[in-house]
């Protein structure tokens, strides 16, 4: 075992985590952590020591009242973890349901976007689509809560070689759907050929022995499926014109695209989407809808939630916190007081709520940008992507406004299905946001129909969301530049007297449920430490 | 639409398929096929027109007796498709159960390998592992039978960036488990850097405009996660030493391995395993075990199967076929006669059965090689790969004898799990085949334990199979060189008078269940055509 190397890699946090643990499985963790054999994320999870019930009882510091603003995943995580220790938590939630962006659209879901009329989902019973987060990397803490709460998960097919690339204004391959496997085989083939020949002919100044160069060429031959003399002449990896089959049916391999066409197509730029750390396989989602997660939290902390409680002002003094809120239905104003406040309201909303924040905090809140993001679900009466194209989950990518289509990674073989007809962000999302619900539907159908002509015949119903136009959310997720992280972001992370901010926007995993959970756990630890010290 | 280009790609088979169809969904297929919008595999499926019940009745050619040898997927597909049309099929199966290599090991599974004692699986109830085929590419005809028979499928995680590479005698990274994501990030990074610089400095003689060269460099920058000046300096794609998290926890990226080490490691050679056409994502497997497929067939053709019927001789004349068989339990000899015979017995077994084959056929049967393949299932009392390492399905690859470890792609979060402790072929399989059951277990535990030290503490029970030592199978799958395909293979595909061979070995998808099914469907069509012509 190269134990020495691994020990050198051990970080302060790993060390602290390791020595902070005692007994049982913790002792195993400790031993294994020392050996460097635990995943960093496991160590991260082990690092969170939730407040214990005995801490407060023994210390006589029980009964601390915590006001939590927002029943999204951050707010409910905080209520759950603090509640286990005996803190008295109350969650104020403006909507009539919990979960925040962890939201699954089903038959009858009804919502009015800011400045628009009402839209009601006419999907069939039992059908759903996740309009907020839809996938969970296997190493995110979200998976640990799924495990703990007994939420069944199934793979989210974030990679599928049978999906298509489709680009407009991209040379000879414009306006043509090309299977991902075909584009990958050709791009990898041609580039491997170029590099293998260059290495072989010693055109590059590489710090390698000739044996190492041979190994590199061997790798490139395998990587690009090159001929022995290092040419890319097409590959079965890219698929077939005629599939191989039984008896004498050897199949006919597709012809590769020529080098110019495949470079001009721009398809290669899509490959690395699948490489990024939080998009790599395997990914998961709860069986039956992402809202199984919020439901599981509600089962545990639902009795602490006051719904339809729109926060009007956040006040604090040396003694405590007072929050004024009112029902958007009755207008009746109420107030609640507590020892501390955990505010998970998105900063795009919070910046317009009067609050006793320091000027530094107020400025940081106002400075935070939110990403534009929008999705549409399209119900089809036949799963033609499975039946005709043999695409089971995964996506097709395009440079049209719709950006991407996702095929449902659930209920394979069933009769109907809801496709994610677009998932747009940035400029594309802004453009789509300005359309009416029906115009969005038309856009999704006309552009998506170029990739799947079956759209026209099989379409049944749509439901679209723009996150910036969604009340109490007003944005997809917090979006920081690296300058933002240095300038105003640290101010958001510091408690402002008795008020703590939490949420995906208080994390380096913005846009992920894990960001909300990790952020909440840090605030829980901070508050508990402060209470115990007091 | 680039319809013209696609039409040019249309093949004879696609054309024939298209025009051979009439009415209903067939008409849609026809239209869409003309437009070039159906996947080749869909066209392949559409091409199979099963014999209709009315064909035989109307023609007065009913009651033809078909003797099928072997109740694997080929034999049962033939019985199912012919049975629908009213053929009188009888399947002789030497074992006491159907499915052939489509076999799932559960508690109580008991078997004696050729030349060895009895082995009985001591797994817990409800636990299983697929000792034969374990995954289905989404485009294989096997999926169509799952759909038709109502067999629920779930993804088989054939790609998982959290799995490990572990090589011995491979330079500085020897004896060290390295996450796949880390190896891929580094190899892709360094090679993209080499090529991008070479293109940028015009070191290569490429038939590209300078605009196209820029596009190529753009692609390489994205592909390798290179700096603006085209250096690979590590990438978050490779993972973290400290995971990013909440508040100020920005994470600490891992340091890349140096170029020499990562080349010497040989890890790059593993990447392309995931690229091959039939190993690409998405892949699937039946919920609850691969034998759900054989069960579904048995439900439909089980009343045609005679179990414990070991074929002793295959005789034929101008009038019909006669098969002599006996029970290995009682030794009582029986015979059955029929009009035609479909023989799906593996050629490794068939070559030792007296049969009225032409010299050409006999020689071809004797010439066919079979692949060595072996697997072991290891039951652990804790799913440490999920709990400690956040690996949900997928594999780790190694140059040790065990070749690879697969993590169960099912029942995530449950208490226990069965790992595929090795899946070896070729020389490694031969080496392991010679070990006793307990020696195989020790080998799997000691080598696998180098990657997962938790093995020692958590292991409970094992069950291993070597396919060459498995009675009535005697091999993993038929293994043809391209010379074999030209020389003797065509003889296997021709009916020998009244006897037709079928099975994965009669296909260009050897080792796959789809090969068995496609092969059987061809024979079904051939026999039906012959009967109708007679």
Q: Which of B155, B247, B276 sits opposite A522 (nearest CB)?
A: B247
pLDDT at B193: 98
Q: Look at residues B140, B149, B121, B476 and name the one whose alpha carbon lies nearest to residue B297.
A: B149
Note the pTM of the prediction, 2 decimals: 0.93
Give the closest-approach CA distance of A411 to chain B in angstroms.
Answer: 9
pLDDT at B2: 39
pLDDT at B42: 66
Within 8 A by CB and 6+ apart from A445, the residues are A378, A421, A455, A456, A459
pLDDT at A533: 87
Interchain pair B161, A280: CB under 8 A? yes
> B263 near A216, Cβ under 8 Å?
yes
What is the bridge-based pairing of β-strands A394-398 and A164-166? parallel
Interchain pair A284, B198: CB under 8 A? no
Q: Look at residues B65, B20, B79, B84 and name the one whose alpha carbon lies nearest to residue B46.
A: B20
Q: Look at residues A53, A100, A166 and name the one whose alpha carbon lies nearest to residue A447.
A: A166
pLDDT at B29: 46
Cβ–Cβ contact A249 with B under 8 A: yes
pLDDT less than 70: residues of chain B: 1-38, 40-46, 58
What is the bridge-based pairing of β-strands B369-370 and B340-343? unpaired
Contacts across the A-B interface (CB distance below 8 Å) = 342
The Cα–Cα gap between B17 and B26 comes to: 10
Within 8 A by CB and 6+ apart from B356, the residues are B314, B315, B316, B497, B499
Neighbours of B118 (CB within 10 A): 9
Cβ–Cβ contact B521 with A under 8 A: yes
Interchain pair A225, B272: CB under 8 A? yes
Cβ–Cβ contact B519 with A under 8 A: yes
pLDDT at A36: 55
Calculate ∠ Cα A314-A320-A325, nearest 5°. Answer: 30
Q: Which residue of chain A comes nearest to B482, CA vs CA?
A: A250
Cβ–Cβ contact B38 with A under 8 A: yes
- A361: which 2 tokens? 């905090």
> B428 near B349, Cβ under 8 Å?
no
Q: Which residue of chain B comes nearest to A414, CA vs CA?
A: B147
Helix (H, G, I), strand (E, B) or coil at B175: coil
Listing DSSP states for B398-434 in one string gives ESSTT-EEEE-SSSTT-S-EEEEEEEEEHHHHHHHHT
Cβ–Cβ contact B417 with A under 8 A: no
Interchain pair A176, B5: CB under 8 A? yes
Interchain pair B38, A143: CB under 8 A? no
- B191: which 2 tokens? 């090679």
Q: Which residue of chain A comes nearest to B150, CA vs CA?
A: A413
Cβ neighbourhood burial of A421 (10 Å; 0-12, 13-18, 19+): buried
Q: Which of B13, B39, B138 sits opposite A388 (nearest CB)?
A: B39
3-state secondary structure A412-477: CCCCCEEEEEEEEEHHHHHHHHCCCHHHHHHHHHHHHHHHCCCHHHHEEEEEEEEHHHCCCCCCCC
B residues 347-406 closer than 8 Å to A (CB): 387-394
Calculate ∠ Cα A88-A93-A97, nearest 5°. Answer: 115
H helices present in B60-179, as ranges: 73-84, 141-149
Whether this model's ipTM surpasses 0.90 comes out as yes
Give the closest-approach CA distance of A334 to chain B in angstroms.
Answer: 31
Strand partners, B342: B68, B500
Calculate ∠ Cα A503-A507-A509, nearest 5°. Answer: 105
Interchain pair A204, B225: CB under 8 A? no
Strand partners, A321: A316, A338
Per CB-CB distance under 8 Å, the chain B contacts of A138 are: 160, 162, 390-392
The Cα–Cα gap between B421 and A429 comes to: 47
Per CB-CB distance under 8 Å, the chain A contacts of B143 are: 390, 392
A residues 84-103 closer than 8 Å to B (CB): none
Cβ–Cβ contact A39 with B under 8 A: yes
Per CB-CB distance under 8 Å, the chain A contacts of B509 are: 244-246
Interchain pair A389, B39: CB under 8 A? yes
Per CB-CB distance under 8 Å, the chain A contacts of B139 are: 162, 243, 390
- A307: which 2 tokens? 């719904």
Q: Which residue of chain A comes nearest to B236, CA vs CA?
A: A277
Cβ–Cβ contact B105 with A under 8 A: no
Per CB-CB distance under 8 Å, the chain B contacts of A185 are: 275
CA-CA-CA-CA dihedral for A119, A125, A131, A132, to nearest 10: 130
Cβ neighbourhood burial of A204 (10 Å; 0-12, 13-18, 19+): middle
Helix (H, G, I), strand (E, B) or coil at A314: strand
| Domains of chain B, earliest start first | 3-47 (no CATH), 53-99+292-370+477-533 (3.50.50.60), 104-162+280-289+372-469 (3.90.660.10), 178-266 (1.20.1440.240)
Give the closest-approach CA distance of B203 to chain A in angstroms.
Answer: 7
> A173 near A180, Cβ under 8 Å?
no
Interchain pair A155, B216: CB under 8 A? no
Q: Which of A220, A281, A519 sits opposite B246 (nearest CB)?
A: A519
The Cα–Cα gap between B203 and B309 comes to: 69
Cβ neighbourhood burial of A123 (10 Å; 0-12, 13-18, 19+): buried
A residues 110-139 closer than 8 Å to B (CB): 138-139
> A148 near A48, Cβ under 8 Å?
no
Going residue by residue through chain A, which has 534 residues, state the pLDDT in tens, using 9 for 90 and above: 333 444 444 444 444 444 333 334 444 444 445 455 567 666 666 678 888 877 777 677 778 999 999 999 999 999 999 999 999 999 999 999 999 999 999 999 999 999 999 999 999 999 999 999 999 999 999 999 999 999 999 999 999 999 999 999 999 999 999 999 999 999 999 999 999 999 999 999 999 999 999 999 999 999 999 999 999 999 999 999 999 999 999 999 999 999 999 999 999 999 999 999 999 999 999 999 999 999 999 999 999 999 999 999 999 999 999 999 999 999 999 999 999 999 999 999 999 999 999 999 999 999 999 999 999 999 999 999 999 999 999 999 999 999 999 999 999 999 999 999 999 999 999 999 999 999 999 999 999 999 999 999 999 999 999 999 999 999 999 999 999 999 999 999 999 999 999 999 999 999 999 999 999 999 999 999 999 988
Per-residue pLDDT of B440-483, as tens digits, reads 999 999 999 999 999 999 999 999 999 999 999 999 999 999 99
Cβ–Cβ contact B175 with A under 8 A: yes
Q: Which residue of chain A comes nearest to B30, CA vs CA?
A: A388
């Amino acid at each position: 075992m190269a134990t020495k190397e691994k020990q050198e890699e051990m970080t302060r946090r790993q060390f602290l985590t390791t020595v902070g643990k005692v007994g049982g499985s913790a002792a195993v963790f400790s031993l294994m952590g020392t050996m460097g054999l635990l995943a960093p994320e496991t160590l991260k999870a082990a690092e969170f020591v939730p407040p214990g019930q005995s801490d407060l009882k023994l210390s006589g510091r029980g009964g601390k009242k915590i006001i939590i603003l927002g029943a999204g995943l951050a707010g409910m995580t905080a209520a759950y973890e603090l509640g286990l220790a005996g803190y008295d938590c109350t969650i104020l939630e403006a909507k009539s349901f919990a979960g925040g962006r962890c939201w699954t659209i089903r038959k009858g879901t009804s919502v009015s976007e800011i400045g628009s009329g009402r839209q009601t989902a006419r999907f069939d019973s039992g059908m759903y689509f996740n309009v907020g987060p839809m996938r969970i990397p296997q190493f995110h803490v979200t998976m640990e809560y799924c495990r703990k709460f007994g939420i069944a998960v199934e793979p989210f097919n974030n990679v599928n070689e049978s999906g298509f690339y489709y680009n407009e204004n991209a040379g000879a391959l414009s306006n043509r759907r090309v299977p991902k496997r075909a584009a990958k085989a050709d791009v990898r083939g041609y580039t491997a050929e170029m590099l293998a020949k260059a290495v072989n002919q010693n055109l590059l100044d590489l710090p390698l022995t000739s044996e190492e160069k041979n190994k590199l060429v061997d790798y490139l031959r395998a990587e690009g499926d090159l001929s022995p003399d290092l040419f890319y002449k097409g590959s079965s990896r890219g698929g077939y014109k005629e599939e191989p089959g039984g008896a004498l049916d050897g199949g006919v391999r597709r012809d590769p695209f020529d080098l110019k066409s495949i470079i001009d197509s721009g398809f290669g730029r899509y490959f690395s989407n699948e490489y990024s750390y939080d998009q790599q396989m395997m990914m998961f989602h709860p069986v039956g809808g992402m809202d199984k997660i919020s439901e599981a939290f509600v089962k545990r902390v639902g009795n602490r939630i006051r719904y339809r409680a729109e926060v009007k002002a956040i006040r604090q003094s040396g003694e405590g916190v007072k929050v004024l809120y009112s029902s958007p239905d009755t207008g009746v104003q109420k107030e609640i007081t507590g020892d501390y406040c955990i505010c998970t309201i998105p900063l795009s909303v919070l910046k317009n709520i009067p609050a006793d924040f320091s000027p530094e905090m107020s400025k940081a809140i106002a400075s935070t940008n939110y990403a534009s993001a929008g999705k549409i679900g399209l119900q089809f009466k036949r799963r033609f992507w499975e039946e005709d194209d043999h695409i089971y989950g995964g996506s097709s990518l395009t440079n049209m406004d719709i950006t991407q289509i996702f095929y449902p990674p659930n209920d394979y073989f069933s009769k109907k299905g809801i496709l994610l007809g677009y998932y747009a962000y940035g400029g594309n999302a802004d453009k789509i946001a300005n359309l009416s619900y029906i115009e969005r539907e038309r856009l999704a159908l006309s552009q998506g129909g170029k990739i799947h002509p079956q759209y026209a015949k099989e379409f049944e119903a749509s439901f679209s969301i723009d996150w910036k136009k969604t009340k109490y959310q007003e944005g997809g997720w917090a979006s920081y530049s690296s300058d933002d992280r240095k300038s105003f972001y640290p101010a958001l992370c510091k408690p402002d007297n008795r008020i703590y901010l939490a949420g995906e926007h208080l994390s380096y995993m913005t846009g992920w449920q894990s960001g909300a959970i990790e952020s909440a756990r840090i605030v829980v630890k901070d508050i508990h430490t402060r209470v115990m010290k007091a």
